[in-house]
Structure 1
């Protein structure tokens, strides 16, 4: 029903506006008695064989929703009814910020992709915590954290630390988002020495809590082999809990969209089918190079069960969807889980 009826209607409207409309629609319909049960019966696959224990957490299935969809943690309880094994909220910054000027979200329909330059728009730490206090504990929640755009380079670590300490009681794992191309200057965030400092500082804070939370690093799909070697060294040297591969791409090659269309869109991070092979390559390289010494969450271009299985075969322990969820609808999660059961 989604692909043949709802999606054609949704795609007639501005992507960001329809995103907010869809949130309101899911939120309101889920309050109707029996609707949440209906969603679960349509989309959830409950089977112990789907469980995965990764970085000390047991996921009821390996299919998650990537960060960026439920930035402010307003819909995770309702989204849980669509069969996800985990949901990652954020990116959260200490202070709320409006992000980049609109228009900043664009569909590439022929490519089944999206270009965004949202710029970490979110309501800020305090607002997100208020939402997370209503967690019905339906599934594992990840907290994707970043820095405010206006923060000076010497204060980057303080932003991550503030988010980490405040969110610690409310999420099950953390993701240090250092690879988003839409937040202005982030050269320092790609420096290996700085990443060691950042990870070490956050790990030190983690050790002050009675229950430590896993910490992961989200990396770009555009890294070359030498840079990926540095990531492997970094993870092993710091005992980081895992890596998410990958974020959006700045590469515009081999797209069906015309040069005129791409020029009119401007800069931004590309997600969806166009980056599928690129992210899978990163996953396989990290897995092979490290001897599978750390967990990997695979994300990027998953629009079918086959796409998800390719990521897992390449070395991913868990997978996440985002653009595929928008193009394929909630039935995608069920398709992936059913395909995994057949294996």
Structure 2
């Protein structure tokens, strides 16, 4: 109800200004208000981790881990922060975030704007949240693509001890050439180096932190199969499907639909869910799928699980529906698989 009142005010602001205001408010709420209700309980084990429920926050909303405690009040079963890069960077020039309310979509070309991995580590260390925390890592915009693995390894070294799992983001369309890392040879090299470093860090810290890979929705079926093969071959712990799309098929004639960047929200739901289904068939249960992309209601969350996912993440839907979406999706996915 509170969000229904606040939404017209937020939507009267520039999209990025509204985002910054909301994040600052959540930061204050997490620091100064009493703890909220615990996450609704519908526990499920995935990647060796116990999730209180299947609904999580996708990366991108809290890039620097500044509002973890405030976001935890929404009842998520897990929270993913980032994408973070080794060095701070401002991202692309503003304006770079656009609402498409007619189709419940968002286009962003943020460009991994963040304060750098050291700032994120300090914020996580100061947070009171004790639940499942994913940390999403990327490369700096000016790091040559052939040296991208060095950036991912640098981030992995610094976040490993604080993360429940670490996501490797190779699918944002807003960092030049980043999606090249989804190519067969590039992906093999990157995953091989990450798994080697993961093993060393597990020995060093005495705990195993799962690695997940976040992929794009703009993949041909053969590419999905190749990625699934690489995930199995390198024993990656999970896959997130999907990031934003560069397709504009669903937003023709819509205001801001021609803006460059990644499109999220309802227009990406079908393409993203199709990739989940393709991955589920190709992986045959060998590793779990976390679905993200266009979930605007409980039925959408349930559909992601029916397509083959084990967990579901929200982001753009929160902009249009507010915190009530989390509870609705938790209810819609409760006890999924009990009768299957």
* TM-score with structure 1 setting the length: 0.93
Secondary structure class of the residue paired with 1:175: strand
Instruction: Report the CA distance between 1:231 and its aligned residue.
Output: 1.1
Separation in structure 2 between the aligned mates of residue 3 and residue 110 of structure 1, nearest angstrom = 19
Instruction: Report the CA distance between 1:5 and its aligned residue.
Output: 1.5
1:299 matched to 2:295: no
1:215 matched to 2:211: yes
1:178 matched to 2:174: no
Partner of 2:185: 193
Partner of 2:105: 113
Deviations for 1:208-231, whole angstroms, at most 9, x for unmatched residues? 122121111100001011101101
Deviations for 1:302-335, whole angstroms, at most 9, x for unmatched residues? 0100000000010010000000011110011111
Separation in structure 1 between the aligned mates of residue 58 and residue 243 of structure 2, nearest angstrom = 10
Separation in structure 2 between the aligned mates of residue 247 and residue 156 of structure 1, nearest angstrom = 19
Q: Which runs of 5+ in 1 are unaligned?
A: none
Partner of 1:71: 63
Separation in structure 1 between the aligned mates of residue 233 and residue 28 of structure 2, nearest angstrom = 47
Secondary structure class of the residue paired with 1:208: helix
Partner of 1:14: 14
Separation in structure 2 between the aligned mates of residue 194 and residue 332 of structure 1, nearest angstrom = 38
Separation in structure 1 between the aligned mates of residue 172 and residue 266 of structure 2, nearest angstrom = 18
Instruction: Report the CA distance between 1:338 and its aligned residue.
Output: 1.7
Instruction: Report the CA distance between 1:235 and its aligned residue.
Output: 1.0
Deviations for 1:107-166, whole angstroms, at most 9, x for unmatched residues? 000010000000000000111111111232431111100100000123211100000011
From the superposition, tell whether residues 153 and 110 of structure 1 become closer, same or farther in structure 2 (CA, over 3 Å). same
Partner of 1:147: 139
1:329 matched to 2:335: no
From the superposition, tell whether residues 159 and 129 of structure 1 become closer, same or farther in structure 2 (CA, over 3 Å). same
Partner of 2:241: 245
Q: Number of matched residues?
A: 332
- Indicate conservation of the 8 Å contact 1:173/1:215, yes or no: yes
- Indicate conservation of the 8 Å contact 1:45/1:338, yes or no: no
Separation in structure 2 between the aligned mates of residue 311 and residue 32 of structure 1, nearest angstrom = 36
Separation in structure 2 between the aligned mates of residue 261 and residue 132 of structure 1, nearest angstrom = 35
Deviations for 1:273-328, whole angstroms, at most 9, x for unmatched residues? 00101111110111012212210000000010000000001001000000001111
Secondary structure class of the residue paired with 2:236: coil
Partner of 1:287: 280
Separation in structure 2 between the aligned mates of residue 121 and residue 254 of structure 1, nearest angstrom = 27
1:318 matched to 2:311: yes
1:230 paired residue among 223, 226, 248 = 226
1:103 paired residue among 95, 100, 116 = 95
- Indicate conservation of the 8 Å contact 1:283/1:298, yes or no: yes
Instruction: Report the CA distance between 1:270 and its aligned residue.
Output: 0.2
Separation in structure 2 between the aligned mates of residue 109 and residue 68 of structure 1, nearest angstrom = 19
- Indicate conservation of the 8 Å contact 1:108/1:257, yes or no: no
1:204 matched to 2:196: yes
From the superposition, tell whether residues 329 and 92 of structure 1 become closer, same or farther in structure 2 (CA, over 3 Å). same
Secondary structure class of the residue paired with 1:207: helix
Q: Which runs of 5+ in 2 are unaligned?
A: none
1:262 matched to 2:254: no
Partner of 2:72: 80
